[in-house]
Amino acid sequence: MSVTENLVKQLVEKHGKSRNSLMPVLQGVVREEKFLSEEALLSIARELDLSAADVYGTASFYTFLDTVPRGKNIVRVCKTISCHMKGKDEVIHAIEGSLKIKAGETTHDKKFTLLTANCLGWCHKGPVMLVNDDIYPELTPQKAVEIIEEYAKKQ
């Protein structure tokens, strides 16, 4: 049994074999593997006795359930109005320059994916970004790059 199949099996055991467990199972796979591979989706469909199309259809609805390969660290910069007014463009450009990718892309070494996100709920402290589950408010371009560099050093 592959690592992914094993993970899916464990998640289904933990959350139960019902349709209501689909979200926690999908979320669990994304937590470990950063995205839902074809193998993961098929394996979830088998374990929960759903059609693969149904599982893919559900996953692809949600922006945090990626179905394309993502980097080890996912950076989401808020692009909605308040953060826009406070300079999210400059922050995104600085990160793009530092990682040498455009928003929406993943670095060659698969360490980072840079995405934009709709309102992250920090409108009084923009610009703001999420790195994985950690939140970084009141960014400047320089501060954002420093945070990214810290993550780069971690591995």
Query: Residues interacting with another protein, by CB under 8 A?
Result: 18-24, 26-27, 57-58, 61-65, 80-82, 84-85, 117-126, 130, 133-135
- Nearest by Cα to 94 from 155, 149, 43, 40: 149
Q: Are the C-beta atoms of 88 and 126 separated by less than 8 Å?
A: yes
Comparing CB distances to another protein, the nearer of 109 and 150 is 150
Comparing CB distances to another protein, the nearer of 117 and 139 is 117
Alpha-carbon distance of 43 to 18, in angstroms, equals 15
- What are the Cα distances from residue 13, in Å, to 21, 24, 145? 10, 12, 41
Alpha-carbon Rg for the chain in angstroms:
17
Residue with tokens 């790195």: 131
Q: Least CB distance from residue 27 to another protein, whole Å? A: 6
Q: Least CB distance from residue 9 to another protein, whole Å? A: 17
Comparing CB distances to another protein, the nearer of 133 and 154 is 133
Q: Which residues contact 150 (CB under 8 A, 6 or more apart)?
A: none
- Nearest by Cα to 111 from 143, 81, 153, 80: 153
Q: Least CB distance from residue 8 to another protein, whole Å? A: 14
Comparing CB distances to another protein, the nearer of 32 and 134 is 134
Q: Least CB distance from residue 28 to another protein, whole Å? A: 10
Comparing CB distances to another protein, the nearer of 108 and 124 is 124
Q: Least CB distance from residue 39 to another protein, whole Å? A: 20
**145: which 2 tokens?**
């790059």
